[in-house]
Chains A and B, each alone.
Chain A
Amino acid sequence: MTLSVLAGPAPATGTEGYAAHVARLGPLPLSTSALIDTIDRSELRGKGGAGFPAATKWRAVASRRAGNPVVLANGGEGEPLSRKDRTLMEQRPHLVIDGALLAAGAVGAREIVLYVGADHTGAIRAMQRAAGERPPRERDLLHVVSAPVRYVSGEETAAVNFVNTGIALPTSIPPRPYERGVDGRPTLVQNVETLAHAALIARSGDAWFRSLGVGTASGTTLISVGGAVPQTMLIEAPQGTTITDAVNAAGGLTADSDAVLLGGYFGSWVAASTAWGLVIDADGLRANGYSLGCGVIAVLPAGRCGVVETARILAYLAHESARQCGPCTFGLRAISAATGRVAALTSSDGDLDHIKRWSGLLAGRGACRHPDGAAGLLGSALRVFAEEFQRHDQQHRCSATIAQSVAS
C-alpha cells in the first residue's frame, strides 16, 4: 500500500512528536505564493467532502490578502462513518500544522484556527501538544478550537460562524468564507487531510504527488472502510485504484454483499456489482454520479436490509438538521418519518409515493448542502433498493435475515 500522509512510525507508537517529525521530513519549507502553483499542478482536491481543487481556494484567499486573511484547518469530522481526520490529527499533528502554516504563508494569513471536533479528544490533545512544541513564531499563530459535536459543525460556514459567535450553524451564502469569514476577514477553510498532503507536496513537489496515483489519477487519499470487513479501518489508497483494492487493503470481505455505501451519510448506495470496479478518483466518480465524500466506503453485508439502513441514516440526518431552513426542517423530517414507517413495515397508503416525490424537493433548498446530501442518499436508495422498498411497502415484508446496522 502506498503511504504518504500516514507514512512514518506505526500507528501503535501513537502521536509523532515534533523532533521525530522534523527528523523524518526535514524542516518546514519556505512558503511563497509559488506554492499555490505547485499545489495547482499537483491536482490536490479538498478532502472534506466536496472535492474542490485546493489551489483554487488558496488563490481566492490570496487575492484578498489585503484583508488580513485567516486559515481555518477543519478537523470537525462530524460524519459518523469517517475517522480519517481524527486519526491523522492524533498520529501526525505536525503534518497538519505544517500544511496550515504553509497555507497561511501562501495566502498571507497571520492567524490559524485549528478546528477539531470536541468528541475527538485524542486529536484535540495531540493538536494542542503539537502546537506547543512549535517554535514561538509559529506557535503564536495557532489556536486550537474545539467544535461542538454535531453533524453540521464541520460545514465551512458553520465552522466560521462558531469561531465568530459560538454558534456552529451554517450561515447563508453569499458571503462565502473566502470573501468574509473569521472576524469578517477572508478565510481559507481547508480540511486537515488536505493540509497534510499540501505539507508533503511543498517538500517533494507536484510531480512526486502525481506519481503516487495510478494511471492519470494523482496522489493518495484517506478512506475509512467499514461494514463487511474484519474491522472498520483507515487506509491510505493511491487514487486510481479501485473500491475492491480498498476493501482488500482493509482485510477483505467478511460476508457477501449486494450494496456499498460510498461517501458516507451524504453519499450514495451503489449496487455491489457496480461498486467493486469503480476507480477511486474524484472526476471519474463524479462522472458516474458518485463521490467518496470525506473518504468513506461502507459495505452492507448480505442479510441486512438497505431500506432499514437508509431509514436509520435519514433519521439521523433529520435529527442533525440545523433547523434553520424550512425544507430541511420539515421536508427532511417528513421524509425521515415516512421512510421509517416503510422500514418498520407500518407504511400506509401513499408513503412510498410521497417519499419518491419529496426526494426531488430537497436539493438546493437549504442554506447549506445538508438537504442535498440527504436527498442524494435517498435517491440512490430508491434506485438500488427499489425491490426491497416495494416489498416493504406493498407486502409489509422485509428480506433481512440480520437485524443490525452497517454503521454501528
Chain B
Amino acid sequence: MTPGYAVVLLAVDGLQMAVRQELSSRYCPHGKAAFLMRCLALFAVFAAAALALFLAARSTKRPSARTPLYIAAGVLLLFAIGSGALVLYGLSGCSGAAAEGLIWDWP
C-alpha cells in the first residue's frame, strides 16, 4: 500500500465515521426511557379508545352502526401499532449522546 493511498483511505474512513456519528445522534431524545414511557402512554390512549369503540360496536342495537364502529376501532388500533413500530424503529438507530438543537422531543 502506497502512503498516498493510505492517507486517502484514512480520510474516507474518518469521514464515514463522522457521518455515522451524525446519523446516530441527530433527532434522538435526551432520555430513551422517559421518551419510550411517553410514547407508551400516548399509544395506550389510542388502544384504549379502540377497545372502547370495539365494545360499543358489540353492544350497539343498530346493525347499521356496527360496521363503522368496528372499522373505526380497527383504524385506531392499527394507528397505535404502526406508530409504535415506527417510533421503536427510529429509536433503534440512536446510539450515544443526542445532538443538541436536533432533538426528538415527542412522538
Are chains A and B native binding partners rather than an unrelated pairing?
no
* Interface set of B (CB-CB < 8 Å, partner A): none
